[in-house]
Amino acid sequence: MARIRFGDQISPQVSRVALGGAATIQNLGDVDTNTNGLADGYLLIYNATSKRFETGNVLNNVTVNGGSF
């Protein structure tokens, strides 16, 4: 861990951050991009039966609340 001295105090400082894991959304374990493919305008839609997110451009059983103006 890198340390920087400010006066009489020693405070830790982050000198490097390493991130790992999926580099693309297709590599995430709970995302299915194969069934419907990928295209402009597609969304990730949760499928409770498969317990995965799937791509698609049609929303079913959705209530959109635009708020009050």
At 3-52, the pLDDT tens digits run 555 555 555 666 677 777 667 888 888 999 999 999 999 999 999 999 99
Q: What is the mean pLDDT of residues 59-67?
A: 85
Q: What pLDDT score does 60 carry?
A: 83
**DSSP conformational letter for 27:** G
Provide the greatest CA pair distance for the chain.
Answer: 62
pTM for this predicted structure? 0.56
What are the sequence ranges of the domains in the chain? 24-69
Residue 11: predicted pLDDT: 59
Question: Is it the case that residue 69 has pLDDT exceeding 60?
Answer: yes
